[in-house]
């Protein structure tokens, strides 16, 4: 991020944030309610784009790329970088919820591979019982 500011209409929610985020490390954002943690995360995967009147100044790796390269559609950004505030499953089966990300990212080449990855994911989350 370089000099990132974010506005909800007239109201500035993020002010001139510059930060390097290290690859393959866990990074934590800590602060009081309303300080802008969620806004910051939504800026990274462009979930703020759908809020009327919202606007970004400065650049994040993803917003810079997306604003200059038309190939970087909103949906492509969102597929690469997801987040959830409250887990909220889609109104589909558990299998289809677990399969969703694998499908949209074309990460399985066959039905059996998809089923295997869903099973593996559910086991890792302790959600698989026989
Ligand atoms: N959709 C929105 N429209 C207008 N203001 C918002 C919206 N979402 C958040 N805000 C405001 O932006 C500020 C940062 O909020 P938020 O990013 O949700 O903080 P946090 O996640 O740290 O609690 C708060 O003042 C909040 O009221
Ligand atoms: Mg929040």
Closest CA to 60 of 18, 116, 118, 104: 18
Instruction: Walk across the sheet containing 11-17 and list its strands.
Output: 11-17, 2-8, 54-59
pLDDT per residue as tens, the chain (130 positions)? 788 889 999 999 999 988 888 888 999 999 999 999 999 888 877 778 788 998 888 765 554 444 434 556 666 766 777 777 788 889 999 999 999 989 988 999 999 999 999 999 999 999 898 7
Determine the atom of ligand 1 nearest the C-alpha atom of 51. 1
The residue nearest atom 25 of ligand 1, judged by CA position, is 34
Total-model pTM: 0.72
CA 67/CA 78 separation, integer angstroms: 14
29 token code pair: 């954002």
Q: Is the CB of 43 under 6 A from ligand 1?
A: no
Mutation probe of ligand 1 site: the residue of 6, 13, 37 with most atoms within 8 A of C-beta: 13
Q: Is the CB of 37 under 6 A from ligand 1?
A: yes
39 token code pair: 């806004």
């Amino acid at each position: 991020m370089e000099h990132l500011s974010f506005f909800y209409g007239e109201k500035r929610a993020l002010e001139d944030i510059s930060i390097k985020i290290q690859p393959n490390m866990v990074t934590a954002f800590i602060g009081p309610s309303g300080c802008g943690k969620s806004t910051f995360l939504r800026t990274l995967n462009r979930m703020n784009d759908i809020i009327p009147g919202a606007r970004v100044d400065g650049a994040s790796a993803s917003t810079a790329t997306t604003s200059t390269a038309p190939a970087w559609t909103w949906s492509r950004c969102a597929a690469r970088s997801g987040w959830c505030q409250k887990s909220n499953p889609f109104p589909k089966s558990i299998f289809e919820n677990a399969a969703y990300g694998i499908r949209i990212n074309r990460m399985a080449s066959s039905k059996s591979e998809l089923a295997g990855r869903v099973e593996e994911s559910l086991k890792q989350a302790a959600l698989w019982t026989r």
